[in-house]
Amino acid sequence: MHQDDCIFCKISKGEIPSTKIYEDEDVLAFRDIHPKAPIHFLIIPKKHIQSLAHAEPEDSALLGKMLSLTRQLAIQEGALNGFRVIINTGSDGGQEVDHLHIHVLGGPQPWNK
């Protein structure tokens, strides 16, 4: 289920510390270590899925749960004027950590000034 050298699996197992904002049996959400917006957190499945491209049809309920949590946690974190959702996928998609994650970014943005 877990991949030994995966940093997000280690975060999921508590072997690497993180600032968690949500956790249940399937999913974990924690703040990005290098935030690119006033609100920037990641939602990951606890199960190791390499990327969105590696998700299987049987992962559909899990993916739906993660997307539903996206709106719930964005509002909970105070992104009341909207938020951005990014899923970098594969090397051409700019994915650096090979464990599926949803980026959620919000808060006042320079382009809104």
The residues assigned a catalytic role are 101
Residue 18 touches which member of Zn ion, ligand 5GP, none, C-beta under 5-8 Å by kind: ligand 5GP
Query: Choosing among Zn ion, ligand 5GP, none, which partner's interface includes residue 84 (Cβ < 5 to 8 Å by kind)?
Result: none
- Contact string (CB under 6 A) for ligand 5GP, positions 23-52, x = contact: -------xxxxx------------------
Sign of CA dihedral 92, 93, 95, 101: negative
Q: With binding defined as CB under 6 A, does residue 70 bind ligand 5GP? A: no
Q: Is the distance from CB of 53 to CB of 59 less than 8 angstroms?
A: no
Query: Candidates 56-64, 65-73, 77-85, 88-96 — which segment interacts with ligand 5GP by CB under 6 A?
Result: 88-96
Q: Residue 57: how many CB atoms within 10 A of its CB? A: 5
d(CA 37, CA 30): 14
CA-to-CA distance for 32 and 18, rounded, in angstroms? 9
Length reported for the chain: 113
The least distance separating Zn ion from the CB of residue 33, rounded to whole angstroms, comes to: 16
- Residue ranges in contact with ligand 5GP by CB under 6 A: 7, 16, 18, 30-34, 88, 94-97
